[in-house]
């Protein structure tokens, strides 16, 4: 295994940043799922196009 190019403090900072990125990634995925649910609900509530019969005599 190669020695780390980071000092002990830098290594801790990198680990903390990785944890924060993982937490933010989780939040973004949760928000994307919520957006998809809302989008689906909006689509369901859109008025359907109506076909009008033109009774020509």
Q: What is each CA distance from 52 to 7, 32, 47, 49, 57, in whole angstroms? A: 74, 38, 15, 10, 15
pLDDT at residue 41 is higher than 90? yes
pLDDT of residue 34: 98
Token pair 């944890």 is found at: 19
Mean model confidence pLDDT for the chain:
88
Least confidently predicted of 9-13, 21-25, 33-37, 51-55: 51-55
- Cβ-contact 14, 6 below 8 angstroms: yes
Residue 31, Cβ neighbours under 10 Å: how many? 10
| Cα–Cα distance for residue pair 51/18, rounded to 1 Å | 55
Query: Residue 39: what pLDDT?
Result: 95
């Amino acid at each position: 295994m190669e020695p780390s190019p980071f000092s002990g403090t830098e290594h801790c900072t990198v680990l903390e940043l990785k944890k924060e990125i993982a937490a933010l990634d989780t939040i973004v995925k949760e928000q994307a799922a919520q957006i998809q649910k809302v989008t689906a609900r909006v689509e369901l509530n859109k008025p359907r196009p109506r076909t009008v019969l033109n009774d020509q005599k």
